[in-house]
Amino acid sequence: MKTLEAYQEGKVLLIDKPLNWTSFQVVNKIRWLIKQQFEIKKIKVGHAGTLDPLATGLLILCTGKFTKKIETYQAQVKEYTGTITLGATTPSYDLESEVDQIFDISGITKEDILQNTQHFIGEIQQQPPIFSALKKDGKRLYEYAREGEHVEIPKRAITINEFKITNIDIPNVEFRVVCSKGTYIRSLAHDFGKMLNNGAHLSSLRRTKIGDFSVDNAVGVLAFEEAFKTI
């Protein structure tokens, strides 16, 4: 039986984030459902690691006292699957912004693509995208980007444990990545294109695992809402 006390003491909720939802919208929706169900004014709900609006997949939510565990979950290794599209770049490194440059991909072979992954295995220095929520001088990077203001973004160390190409249908390259906290898959896609002396952007992304938690055990927002009605 799901009780108010259970949510207040703390629960870990595995949500399969829908496309075009922000992580914040998912948190707000789940918090609203809990408050409505139990007719309360406040309940702590937070997520353990943002997913971009154009990404789907595993979002860990913590309620009540378990919100103190969020940093522990954020620090765990993550797994993603997705698609990199070669031959074009975008300012956001994904489909959130329009293509700004086109490249000739006629010379790129499958062998080039497969060998290219080796440059990204292990600890590497990665530059976060300008369209991100990271802060510089108290201001979000995406705010600078929208204002057309250039800012220097320092690279930071991240770790790529695995980077496997699962299908190649040029210009689209499907992949699976296992990586550390702080890794931007959009930046990985962008850098993947640069390493091929070309351009690339992330065209789809799905988070499949966080530590031992799998999206296979997650539920959609609507499914969670339906289940709540049966309490």
Active site residues: 52
CB 207 within 8 A of CB 51: yes
Q: What is the DSSP letter of 181?
A: T
Q: What gap in Å lies between CA 11 and CA 231, rounded to an integer?
A: 15
Of 182, 173, 184, 178, give the one whose Cα is nearest residue 211: 178
Distance of CA 21 to the CA centre of its chain: 12
Angle between helices 23-38 and 221-228 (to 10 degrees): 0
Of 169, 175, 207, give the one whose Cα is nearest residue 191: 175
- At residue 176, what is the residue type? R
* Token pair of 150 as six digits: 């250039």
Q: What gap in Å lies between CA 137 and CA 146, rounded to an integer?
A: 16
